[in-house]
């Protein structure tokens, strides 16, 4: 089933001051992430450390810097199974990702996501979780696989959350 994604285009000040600046100027629907304006889509492809916002056990938002990846229209969140954020995502499978252009903080894109399903490295098909981790390791570090930051004190296992994007907010220009 085809999903649509609502994009809220905030009024920015890239071309000067304007009435209603910093408010949503318009909302549009796109059929997929490939329909996102190229100046925002480009942020998804760069090795930018993003901010993941999750609801924690005390009801407050926990913010985590992390590597970002997506495949088609799915955002991929790869985390160690023993980390608190893994449990937080399972308990409340909705989150927000903010990608800010490191060259211009007034150019950003925000993705509101919901978990579609999770894949576990230790189960059948789990090699996809490992491959995706190796892919982002190379994207962010430039180093060849395998991923080099597994906790040496434990037998670290990874979980891949495959997520749908339902809302996007955009702001500014590069």
State yes or no: pLDDT of 171 exceeds 60: yes
Mean pLDDT of 70-83: 96
Q: Within a 10 A sphere around the Cβ of 172, how many other Cβ atoms?
A: 18
- The CATH number for 5-143+155-171, chosen from 3.40.50.850, 3.30.70.100, 1.10.490.130, 2.30.110.10, is 2.30.110.10
11 falls in which pLDDT band (50, 70, 90)?
very high
170 falls in which pLDDT band (50, 70, 90)?
very high
Mean pLDDT of 88-116: 97
State yes or no: pLDDT of 51 exceeds 70: yes
List, for residues 133-152, the tens digit of each pLDDT value. 999 999 999 999 999 999 99
Burial class (CB in 10 A: 0-12, 13-18, 19+), 29: exposed
Structure confidence at residue 89 (pLDDT): 97
Compute CA distances 92 → 53, 59, 89, 169, whole Å: 11, 10, 5, 21
The alpha carbon dihedral of 144, 150, 152, 154 has a sign of negative
């Amino acid at each position: 089933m085809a999903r649509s994604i609502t994009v809220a285009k905030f009024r920015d000040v890239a071309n000067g001051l304007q009435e209603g600046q910093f408010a949503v100027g318009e909302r549009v629907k796109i059929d997929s992430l490939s329909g996102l304006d190229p100046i925002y889509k480009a942020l998804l492809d760069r090795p930018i450390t993003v901010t993941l916002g999750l609801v924690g056990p005390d009801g407050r938002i926990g913010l985590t810097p992390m590597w970002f990846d997506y495949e088609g229209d799915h955002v991929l969140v790869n985390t160690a199974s023993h980390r608190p954020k893994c449990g937080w995502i399972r308990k409340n499978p909705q989150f927000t990702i903010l990608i800010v252009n490191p060259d211009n903080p007034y150019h950003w894109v925000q993705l509101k996501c919901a978990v579609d399903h999770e894949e576990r490295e230790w189960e059948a098909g789990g090699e996809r979780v490992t491959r995706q981790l190796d892919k982002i390791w190379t994207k962010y570090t430039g180093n060849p696989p395998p991923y080099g930051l597994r906790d040496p004190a434990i037998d670290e296992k990874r979980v891949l959350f495959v997520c749908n994007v339902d809302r996007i907010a955009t702001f500014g220009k590069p």
